Amino acid sequence: MDVGTKNHKTNQRLSIFELEALREAFRRSVRENDVTEAEWARHAEHFVKRALQKGSPLTRA
C-alpha cells in the first residue's frame, strides 16, 4: 500500500506490522461503533481517511 500524504514520502510503503495494526484498529473500530457488515465499505473509507490525517495515532510520525 503506497501512502502519499504530506507527512509521508511518495511511494513509501507500510510494513506488514503496520498493516496488521491498521487491520486490528479497523476491527476494533467496527466493534466499538457497531458497524454492520453491510456498512464496512463506507466505514473503511472514513477510517482510512482519518488514519492518514496528520497527527493520527494510526500512522507513523
User: Residue 18 — pLDDT band, cuts 50, 70, 90?
Assistant: confident
* Upper half-sphere CA count for residue 6 (Cβ side, 13 Å): 4
pLDDT at 53: 81
Examine the pLDDT at 61 and tell me if it is beyond 50. Answer: no
Say which DSSP state 10 is in.
Answer: T
Positive or negative, the Cα torsion across 44, 46, 48, 51? negative
Examine the pLDDT at 40 and tell me if it is beyond 90. Answer: yes
Separation between Cα atoms, residue 1 and residue 17, nearest integer Å: 13
Provide the whole-model pTM.
Answer: 0.63
